[in-house]
Amino acid sequence: MAMLHPETGNLVLHVVYDGIPRSGKTESVRALARCFDRSAQTFEERDGRTLYFDWLDLEGGRLLDRPIHYRVLSVPGQKVLSRRRSMIIAAADVVIFVLDSSTTGFAGSLERLTTLRRQLKSRHRPIPILVQANKQDLPEAVDLGKIRDRIGADLQIFSTIATEGRGIREAFVLSVGMCIRYLRKESLVDLDRLARDTGESSLPNAKQLLSILSDIHHHGD
């Protein structure tokens, strides 16, 4: 959800990478960080699997005359961590869905995308989704035409190879453009309301988010 940063007053937008396990979410966030000479933080990884989230802060552009601060987060893909995943998705202003284009990951990705769309439909306002067709370097990768046929024409698709950083920055820029256009068009950002909300519940930092998600895991899973 769009928020005001309690210290800087900048507008904070949440960009969330979702997708099945091993689809390339962490790889995408790390490649994006490299594009901006930053490094992403990974909150706990075991055997190469994200246990909580990846986190990256970026800045750029303005909305309602405020500089925009992007909080880039990736979810843990594993099914057993779905409560953590849902909680992170609940904060999203835009979701980049990392679709695994390998023959083994494609069917599961379509299923997960359906779940994501259902989940986002229940929100009080629609949340834009960009589909990042990842692993397009694999010789057996499902091609964009077939992916388009299966997911429908209403979602934008962008081809990427996260391990080589190809397409990652462009997909990110496209997704935040979609998000900002939508927020502007629908006049969804009301600075007065955001200022009130910021006073009531300030934005959790990475450590606080980690703690919130650990509690959910202990009590819920």
Ligand X SMILES: Nc1nc2c(ncn2[C@@H]2O[C@H](COP(=O)(O)OP(=O)(O)OP(=O)(O)O)[C@@H](O)[C@H]2O)c(=O)[nH]1
Q: Which stretch binds ligand X (CB under 6 A): 22-30, 112-120, 147-155, 168-176?
A: 22-30
Tell me which of 50, 136, 159, 160 binds Mg ion, using CB under 5 A: 50
Which CB atom, from 107 or from 188, has the smaller least distance to ligand X? 107
Determine, following the binding rule CB under 6 A, whether residue 49 of this chain makes contact with ligand X.
yes
Task: Tell which residue, 56, 106, 44, 111, has the closest CA to residue 81.
Answer: 44
Token reading at 149: 């046929």
Token reading at 13: 């937008």
Query: What is the pattern of x (binds Mg ion, CB under 5 A) and - over residues 25-44?
Result: xx------------------
Which CB atom, from 78 or from 156, has the smaller least distance to ligand X? 78
Token reading at 84: 């953590």
Shortest distance, position 134 Cβ to ligand X, whole Å: 5
Tell me which of 12, 16, 22, 99 binds ligand X, using CB under 6 A: 22
Residues 163 to 182 in contact with ligand X, rule: CB under 6 A: 163
Which CB atom, from 27 or from 93, has the smaller least distance to ligand X? 27
Among ligand X, Mg ion, none, residue 29 binds (CB under 5-8 Å by kind): none
Tell me which of 12, 26, 96, 147 binds ligand X, using CB under 6 A: 26
Distance between CA atoms of 37 and 138, rounded to whole angstroms?
27
At 17, phi and psi to the nearest 5?
A: -95, 120
Residue showing tokens 């998705």: 89
- Give the up-direction half-sphere exposure of residue 138: CA atoms within 13 A in the CB hemisphere: 17
Q: Which stretch binds ligand X (CB under 6 A): 15-23, 113-121, 172-180, 187-195?
A: 15-23
Strand 11-18 and strand 94-100: the pairing is parallel
Please, are residues 13 and 65 in contact by the beta-carbon 8 Å criterion? no
Q: Which residues pair with 161 in a beta bridge?
A: 166
Determine, following the binding rule CB under 5 A, whether residue 175 of this chain makes contact with Mg ion.
no
How many other C-beta atoms lie within 10 A of the C-beta of residue 140?
Answer: 10
Residues 51 to 90 in contact with ligand X, rule: CB under 6 A: 76-78
DSSP state, 203?
P
Residues found near ligand X in the complex (CB under 6 A): 19, 21-27, 48-50, 76-78, 134-135, 137-138, 161-163
